[in-house]
Structure 1
Amino acid sequence: MSTKRIVITGATGLIGRKLVAELRNDYELVIFSRDPARARSSLPGAADYVAWQPAEQGPWFAAINGAWGVVHLAGAPISSGLLGMRWTPEYKTEIRNSRVIGTRGIVNAMAAAQQRPAVFVCASAVGYYGFYRDNTPLDENSPPGRDFLAQVCVAWEAEAAKAEALGVRTVMLRTGLVLDPDSGALPQIMLPFKLLTGGPILPGTQVYPWIHPADEIGLIRFALENERVRGPLNAAAPGALANRDFAAVVGKVLGSPSWLPVPEFSLRIALGEMADLVVNGQNAVPRKALDLGYQFRFPTLEPALRDLLNIPR
C-alpha cells in the first residue's frame, strides 16, 4: 500500500462507497463524514474517520494537512429518483450551500495547511451547461447555463478553483447520470418498463449524459494519478443518447415495450421545477478524457446496462 493519504468526503454515497473499495488497497484513506461511527461500520479499512460537515472551518482542518490528495464528493441530493422531493426554496438553499460552503471549507483547510495536497478532485455536474432539448455537443470549454443548477455548479467550481492558486492541481468532475441498479435514478427509470408502460419522456430529443460506475471511478482515479488532468473534466460516456433512443435500449435490455410517451405537463404537475431534470438534458462530450487517453470500459449504453443488470445478450 502507498503511504500517500487521500481524504474523501461523501464516502458513504453511491460513488463514494465504490471509490473507497477501489482505492483502499492502494492508498491510506481518511474518510470525512457527518457520522464517523456509521462510516467506520459501513466502510471498514480506512486509516481514519473524521467528523465533518459543510462549513468554512472546523477541527477537521488538521486532517487535510499532509494529505496527498482530496476527493470531495459531498453534497445534498439533487433528487431521490424521478419521484423525489420537490425543490422548495429551503431545499434549494441546502443544495447550494452544501456544495459551495462545503467546498470553501475544504479549500480553506488547504490554505491553512503547512503541507498542502498535490491534487484536489472536486465533484461537479453536467448541469453546469444548463438545459437543452437537442443534441448540441458540450465539451469542457462550453459556457455555463443560467438556470438554478447551472449557477450552483458555477459557484461550486469557483470555490474549488481557488485551490489552484494555492499550488494544488485541481479537477472539477462534471458528472452525468450515474447508472446503478440499486440506487440513484436507474431503478426509477426502469420501473415503468418493468410494468410494461415504459417509453420516452417528451420531447424525447433531450440527451441524457450517462456513465457506468466503473468509468466514474476510473475517471476519478485517472484525475488523481495523471498530472495532465486539471480543470473541468466531463464524466459522461461518449455514447450519450437522445431520450427516445435511451428508452428504446432500456426496453430492449429488459424485454419490455418502450413506446408509451410520458407528457411533459404530467411531470410538471408531479415534480414542479424539478421536472427540468428529465424534460431537458445535456449532450456532455468527454472530450478532455478522450484526448488525454482515458479508455472507457463502457462507452455505449446497451453493454453498460447488461453488465449492471447481469443480463446476457
Structure 2
Amino acid sequence: MRIAVAGGSGFIGHALVQHFLGRGDEVWIITRSTGRVEQQHPKLHVISWEDLSSKPERLEGIHAIINLSGESINQRWTADAKDRIIKSRLVAAERISKLIRSLQRKPDVVINASGISAYGNSETATFDEDSPEIVSDFLSSVVEKWEAAADSIGAKRLVKLRVGIVIGTDGGAFPKMALPYRMFAGGKIGSGKQWLSWIHVDDIVRLIAFCIDHDEIKGAVNASAPEPVTNDDFGRALGKAMGRPHWMPVPGAMLKLIFGELAVLLLEGQRVIPKRTLDAGFQFRFPTIQSAMNDLVGTK
C-alpha cells in the first residue's frame, strides 16, 4: 500500500510512519522542509508542500492520505497564536483538497486529524461519535472549522479522527506531565475531577491503520482509549507506575496565571468513548490507564 502522511515528522506522525514501513508499505512524508526528515529507508520518500504543488503527479496512485498537519496548541493562546492555529489547519486541508483534484487516481481514503473538543467540556456527560457537537470555547471552535475544511476535501471516504491526549515518551504532552512525579512533586491539577480522554501512542497508530484497512469506517472517529479517567486517577496511575507519591495539588488559579487561556486543557475535559472503532472490532493494547503507565514509565 502507498500512504502519504502530512505532518509525518511530528510526534504521532513519526510513530505512524515507522509502523507503516514496518508492515511493508511505501510511505510519503509531506512536510514544510524536507531537510528536517532523515531518509534511511528504501520505501520512505519525503516531499515538500511546495514541490507537491508543482508536481502532484508524484503521488499518483496513492491509496491513503493522513493529514496530521497543524500548529501546536501547546503554547500561550495570544491573538496571533490563535490565528496561526486555525489557519494552519485550514491551509493544510485546502492543500490536500487541491492535490486530490489534481490526481487522476484518487486515494481510497483521507484521514484528517481533529479533536475531542468537538463535544465541549463536562464533568458528568459521556460522549461518543453520535453525540452532538458543541462550540463553547476556542478549541471547540477550532474543531468546527477544521472539520468543515475536511468535509470540503472531496475524499471518496473521509475519516475525521477526533484525537484525545496522546501519551508517549518521545513527544507530546506526557513528558511534561510526568516531570513533577520524577521530582517527587506530583499531584492532582485543579479539582482533579475533570475527565481526561487519553490514548497510548501505539494504539493511535494501530487505530489509524485500522481505519485505513476497514472500508466501513467513515465520518467522526474518536481516537481515545475505552476507559477515560479523571485527572486525579491519571496522576495516581502515573505515580504508582513510577513509584512516586501523588500528593501535591496544583491550584487551578496558578495554572490560569501561568498559562492563560491555555489552562483550559488541564482544568476542563470530557469523557469520550471510541464507540465506532470498538463496534468495528478494534482491540486496544492499552485499554486501561494503569497498563499504559506501566508500559511507558513503569519501574523495571
Asked whether the two chains share a fold, i.e. TM above 0.5, the reply is yes
User: Which of 106, 111, 122 is 2:96 aligned to?
Assistant: 106
User: 2: distance between equivalents of 1:68 and 1:295?
Assistant: 24
1:217–1:205 Cα change, 3 Å: same
Matched-pair identity in %: 35
User: Which of 38, 52, 56 is 1:61 aligned to?
Assistant: 56
For the pair 1:145 / 2:124, whether they are aligned, the reply is no
In the other structure, the counterpart of 1:82 is none
Q: C-alpha displacement at 1:291, in angstroms?
A: 0.7
1:249–1:47 Cα change, 3 Å: closer
Deviation per CA, 1:226-274: give whole Å up to 9, x if none: 0011001101001110111111111111222212211110001000000
SS class of match (1:259): coil
1:1-313 correspondence to structure 2 within 5 Å = 4-24=1-21, 25-41=23-39, 44-52=41-49, 58-59=53-54, 61-79=56-74, 85-132=75-122, 134-146=123-135, 147-163=137-153, 166=154, 168-312=156-300
Q: Structure 1: give runs of 5+ residues left out of the alignment.
A: 80-84
Deviation per CA, 1:202-246: give whole Å up to 9, x if none: 121111111011110011000111001100110100111011111
1:150–1:300 Cα change, 3 Å: same
User: 2: distance between equivalents of 1:106 and 1:64?
Assistant: 11
Deviation per CA, 1:102-132: give whole Å up to 9, x if none: 1122012212321111111111111222223
SS class of match (1:17): helix
Amino acid at match of 2:97: V
Aligned residues: 298
Q: C-alpha displacement at 1:48, in angstroms?
A: 2.6
The answer on whether the counterparts of 2:9 and 2:29 sit within 8 Å (CA) in structure 1 is no
Q: Structure 2: give runs of 5+ residues left out of the alignment.
A: none
Q: C-alpha displacement at 1:167, in angstroms?
A: 5.3
User: 2: distance between equivalents of 1:198 and 1:187?
Assistant: 13
Q: C-alpha displacement at 1:47, in angstroms?
A: 4.4
User: 2: distance between equivalents of 1:190 and 1:145?
Assistant: 31
1:21–1:218 Cα change, 3 Å: same
User: 2: distance between equivalents of 1:265 and 1:59?
Assistant: 50
Q: C-alpha displacement at 1:154, in angstroms?
A: 1.3
Amino acid at match of 1:70: I
User: 1: distance between equivalents of 2:24 and 2:146?
Assistant: 29
